[in-house]
Amino acid sequence: MNFRTLDLNLLRVFDQVMAEQNLTRAAERLAMTQPAVSNALRRLREALGDDLVTRTAFGVKPTPKAEALWPEVRAALERLREAIEPRGFDPRTQEATFRLAMADATAATLLPALVQAIESTQALTNVRVLPLTTRDPRPWLERGEADFAIGYFPQAVAALEAEGGQATIHHQRLYDGHYVCVMRKGHALAEGELTLDRFCEAHHLLVSFSGRAHGFVDEALAALGRTRRVVLTVNQFFTAGRVVTGSDLLTVLPYEFLPATGFEEELAIQPIPLALQGVHVEVLWHQRHDRHPAHVWMRERIVEAGQARQRSRTPAPR
């Protein structure tokens, strides 16, 4: 490939196809016809010597080379856009779409205040919430699959702080929370003190984004030489709360999330009989967006929503 003769407009097409994973939607975003997008991809494939994407029943699937190339292309296009476009951002006249990766409990806690902030300014901002499937969203942000990741990411944040100024992912604390042990009302452990022995002897339900039946509670138990029996794993906090209302399983949920379930009255709450670290909900983003005006505006709204959540928080039972 001769870079001097490469039509750089092909990279804009490639970026949108990768973002949408669908030729029709990419064509709509680019104000092009689908045949024109297909033709641009063909020319880029010939230049790069790689298929880049393969068709599927629901759109297109990128090749490994496309996956590796996309973050670099997107970062370069962002830098060009920042250099060419005016530095200001008016949310009432400029449309922007942001993808936020977060768990259902975080979304239920944070989104009401965030939507209110967007609507109150009459912003043309669109938010797309992506289901969180990992405790370490840094690869998502590196690849440009999400604009922000919001949640409790203790290991990822610790790694970022260790990297210091070398980190390509930035983070900011939104609010602090607490986890509590939850069960159905009438459960044998709902009354009286929930001791560590009784906690370990019970059967548990675990919210696990990866599907592994091992979480931070299990790590704390292992440090004490203890274990528990995890009967069921699910990938949503809402599902966990709903299941325990009709079973004898215990689960661990964010205390701030319980009012949003709609069935808080069916649940009994006990303090977790373990010394656990505090839960710190953070927002993470890639440095390529750090000074982009639209991203800065959205980040400020996210932080404001987190601060509103912190002010309205009620203490968890101890």
What is the spatial distance between Cα 149 and Cα 91, in angstroms, rounded to a whole number? 21
Same domain, 208 and 79: no
Is residue 208 domain-shared with residue 149, that is, in the same domain? no
Where is the domain boundary, 37, 62, 84? 84
If one compares 25 and 278, the residue with the highest pLDDT of the two is 25
Which pLDDT score, from 0 to 100, does residue 237 have?
A: 94
As a whole number, the mean pLDDT across the chain is 90
Residue 37 contacts by C-beta under 8 Å, 6 or more apart in sequence?
A: 13, 17, 23, 26, 27, 30
* pLDDT per residue as tens digits for the range 30-63: 889 999 999 999 999 999 999 999 988 888 999 9
What is the percentage of the chain residues whose pLDDT exceeds 90? 65
DSSP β-bridge partners for residue 176: 280
Name residue, tokens 């022995």. 197
pLDDT tier for residue 1 given thresholds of 50, 70 and 90: low
Same domain, 21 and 43: yes
Q: Which of 20-24, 181-185, 203-207 bottoms out in mean pLDDT, i.e. has the lowest?
A: 20-24
Q: Is 204 among the domain residues? A: yes
- CB distance 182 to 217 below 8 Å: no
Query: For residue 90, is it within any domain?
Result: no
The whole-angstrom distance between residue 231's C-alpha and the CA centroid of its chain comes to 26
Edge-first strand order for the sheet with 203-207 is: 229-234, 203-207, 250-254, 179-184, 267-270
The CATH number linked to 298 is 3.40.190.10
Report yes or no on 57 lying in a domain.
yes
- pLDDT tens string 56-111: 888 899 999 999 999 889 888 877 877 776 567 889 999 999 999 999 999 999 99
Instruction: Report pLDDT digits (tens) over 293-307.
Output: 899 999 999 999 998
Q: What's the whole-number mean pLDDT along residues 260-286?
A: 92
Flag whether 89 is in a domain: no
The pLDDT value recorded for residue 130 is 93
CA proximity to 292, closest of 15, 77, 73: 77
In this prediction, residue 318 carries a pLDDT of 58
pLDDT at 315 over 70: no
Same domain membership, residue 265 and residue 222: yes
171 and 295, same domain (yes or no): yes
pLDDT at 306: 92
Question: Is 318 part of a structural domain of the chain?
Answer: no
pLDDT band at 167 (very low <50, low <70, confident <90, very high): confident
What confidence score (pLDDT) does residue 87 get?
A: 63
pLDDT at 85: 65
186 plus 270 within the same structural domain: yes
**pLDDT tens digits for range 111-161:** 999 999 999 999 999 999 998 888 899 999 988 889 999 999 988 999 999
Query: Are 214 and 203 in the same domain?
Result: yes
Q: What pLDDT does 86 receive?
A: 58
Domain count, the chain: 3
CB-based burial label for 81 (10 Å; 0-12, 13-18, 19+): exposed
Same domain, 172 and 235: no
CB 270 within 8 A of CB 189: yes
> What is the chain's length?
318
Q: The dihedral of CA 204, 209, 213, 215: what is its sign?
A: negative
Domain range enclosing 8: 3-84
CATH of the domain at 77: 1.10.10.10
Share of the chain above pLDDT 70, in %: 96
